[in-house]
Amino acid sequence: MVFFQSLLTILHPSILLVMIIGSIGGIVIGAMPGLTSVMGVTLLLPFTYGMDATTGMAMLLSISFGAIYGGSITAILIGTPGTPASAATMIEGRQFAARGEGGRALGISTVSSWVGGTISAIMLILIAPQLAKLALKFGAPEYCTLCLFGLTIIASISGKSLLKGAIAGFLGLLISTIGIDPMTGFSRFAFGNINLYSGLQTVPLMIGLFAISQVFVNLKDGVEQNVITQKVTSILPSWSDLKQSLPVAIRSGFIGTFIGIIPAAGADIAAFVSYDVAKKLSKHPEAFGTGCIEGLAAPEAGNNGDTSGALVPMLTLGVPGDATAAVLVGALTLHGLQPGPTLFTKDIVVVNNIFASALIANLLFLIFGLLGIRVFIKIIQIKPYILTPIIFVLCIIGSFALRNNIFDVGAMLVISVIGYFFVYLEIPIAPIVLALILGPMFESNMRRSLLLSKGSFSIFFTRPISLFFILLAVISLLWPILRKKLEKETGTSL
């Protein structure tokens, strides 16, 4: 009953309009190479300052879901992934386009994305409240070891190289130590600057890292204008295509959800794993890579499956499931909401509204994807020299409007230069942001645990949930080594 009330809230014209704008905007952002879904959410986050929490979150979810789907448009039609999450879609997608079946591929990807996203949203609605109940039992030691697990995941899977992932992660941790010491209340590393007294704001840092640094990269490398020659008329998929893609899409939706729940593993990983599983389980694996329907449906359902899955740990524990969810943590705290189990007791209405908007946001990109594809194809051929200044202005406004503090704009620009060089050194950026969120949680909960245990580290090992997370952390650290061994033994790539 309560849930239907939330559904009605979300379907209110004022919220629905914002979601429609968000969904369309998200698809466009996702479709533009160089603009990722995280960037889209970060860029548009400032527009939610003036909204209430429900409207703001509804809009951000629509953007993020739309963008993850939108990436497939370019992946299929141009052969360049619009977002990293659609890199796996490209493998099969461009084969379809080469055959002149771009429209057919878009139809399959649109429906599969929706199936994956909707499964994920339903799983979110089913799992999150249960996990929140369990999370109420989490004390400081559990949070500490959970963060430790999240941090090890960042290092081991978010980049191509363990070392580079660790470099980014540690930079994030380092930045997060600036400001008030959580245990003594005294400022540290502020160097007498009153603006640093309570630490750096995460939102301007995210804008700098995800948006401006990408603008710099685009300026230097130049972004070629997208030229789409393929003629796409209708993309409504045929019944036989649907029948063939549906089972794979459903399975991949579950895989994506599961990967989304793991802290720090994002949509790109969900897409590749889904593709891999589909190939391994397929009756005709040799068809993969030549433009087969299952190979297209799997990564698309997988990456959209990640979207709501990543919200599960974000809402229940305050630990973001991927970089987009990290930005959403920032969005919730802006509205005075603290993600975590108490959110489910104190602000259950907002939580239900988020659930409802997750379902609707998936429906929106399905509708606009199927109906508006020709418009999107036009929009994504926009010239980069028009787009880049718009993004730049939005970034400056966004950083300033957060607290009306010009210092934040400076901080945003400084970190964006660091982000720019990281891109060239192939150091992943997402770990910085995840560590920014996890770092303070880890530190304060560790020191709080030690206060409770009067300084004894045994508190982390005698509590079962805490011990469980420590074991997971050890496994995830050893994973790169384990994987090499397994690959050698089985002769396949994992």
82: nearest Cα among 419, 392, 427, 380: 380
408 token code pair: 């934040």
Compute the residue count for the chain: 494
Out of 9, 405, 414, 418, point to the residue binding other proteins (CB under 8 A). 405
Contacts with other proteins, 278-317, as mask; x by CB under 8 A: ----------------------------------------
342 binds other proteins (CB under 8 A): yes
Q: Which residue stretch of 47-55, 154-162, 358-366, 423-431 sits at the interface with other proteins (rule: CB under 8 A)?
A: 47-55
136 binds other proteins (CB under 8 A): yes
- One-letter amino acid at 311 equals L
Count the Cβ atoms, other than its own, within 10 Å of residue 479.
17
Cα–Cα distance, 15 to 410 (Å, whole number): 33
Cα–Cα distance, 119 to 362 (Å, whole number): 10
Instruction: Compare residues 176 and 362 and give the one whose CB is closer to other proteins.
Output: 176
Count the Cβ atoms, other than its own, within 10 Å of residue 482.
13
465: nearest Cα among 131, 129, 145, 133: 145
Q: Which residue stretch of 41-49, 65-73, 83-91, 211-219 sits at the interface with other proteins (rule: CB under 8 A)?
A: 41-49
180 binds other proteins (CB under 8 A): yes
Contact 25, 44 (CB under 8 A): yes
337 binds other proteins (CB under 8 A): yes
Shortest Cβ distance from residue 394 to other proteins (Å)? 7
Instruction: Compare residues 401 and 418 and give the one whose CB is closer to other proteins.
Output: 401
Instruction: Compare residues 41 and 53 and give the one whose CB is closer to other proteins.
Output: 53
Q: Which residue stretch of 280-288, 304-312, 447-455, 477-485 sits at the interface with other proteins (rule: CB under 8 A)?
A: 447-455
Q: Which residue stretch of 106-114, 122-130, 135-143, 166-174 sits at the interface with other proteins (rule: CB under 8 A)?
A: 135-143
Cα–Cα distance, 129 to 51 (Å, whole number): 25
Q: Cβ neighbours of residue 38 under 8 Å, at least 6 residues apart?
A: 206, 210, 323, 324, 327, 430
101 binds other proteins (CB under 8 A): no
Contacts (CB under 8 A) with other proteins, residues 150-169: none
R_g of the chain computed on alpha carbons: 22
Helix residue ranges, H only, 191-317: 202-206, 213-221, 239-261, 267-281, 293-309, 311-317
Where b means 16+ CB within 10 Å and e means fewer, 424-447 reads eeebbbbbbbbbbbbbbbbbbbbb
Long-range contacts of 345-349 (CB under 8 A, 24+ apart): 347/53, 348/2, 349/6, 349/54
CA angle 143, 146, 152 (to 5 degrees): 140
Out of 138, 254, 275, 355, point to the residue binding other proteins (CB under 8 A). 138
60 binds other proteins (CB under 8 A): no
Out of 397, 418, 423, 465, point to the residue binding other proteins (CB under 8 A). 397
The count of residues interacting with other proteins (CB under 8 A) is 56
Out of 5, 225, 338, 456, point to the residue binding other proteins (CB under 8 A). 338
Out of 225, 234, 238, 345, point to the residue binding other proteins (CB under 8 A). 345
Q: Is 381 helix (H, G, I), strand (E, B) or coil?
A: coil
Instruction: Compare residues 283 and 454 and give the one whose CB is closer to other proteins.
Output: 454
201 binds other proteins (CB under 8 A): yes
Q: Which residue stretch of 9-17, 137-145, 221-229, 267-275 sits at the interface with other proteins (rule: CB under 8 A)?
A: 137-145
38: nearest Cα among 387, 414, 380, 303: 303
Contact 60, 357 (CB under 8 A): no
Q: Which residue stretch of 62-70, 192-200, 416-424, 465-473 sits at the interface with other proteins (rule: CB under 8 A)?
A: 192-200
Instruction: Compare residues 455 and 491 and give the one whose CB is closer to other proteins.
Output: 455
236 binds other proteins (CB under 8 A): no
206 binds other proteins (CB under 8 A): no
Contacts with other proteins, 365-394, as mask; x by CB under 8 A: ----------x--xx-xx---x---x--xx
Cα-flanking dihedrals φ and ψ of residue 155, to 5°?
Answer: -65, -40
Q: Residue numbers of the site for other proteins (CB under 8 A)?
A: 21, 44, 46-47, 49-50, 53, 136-140, 180-187, 194-195, 197-198, 201, 334-338, 340-342, 345-346, 375, 378-379, 381-382, 386, 390, 393-394, 397-398, 400-401, 403-405, 440, 444, 448, 451-452
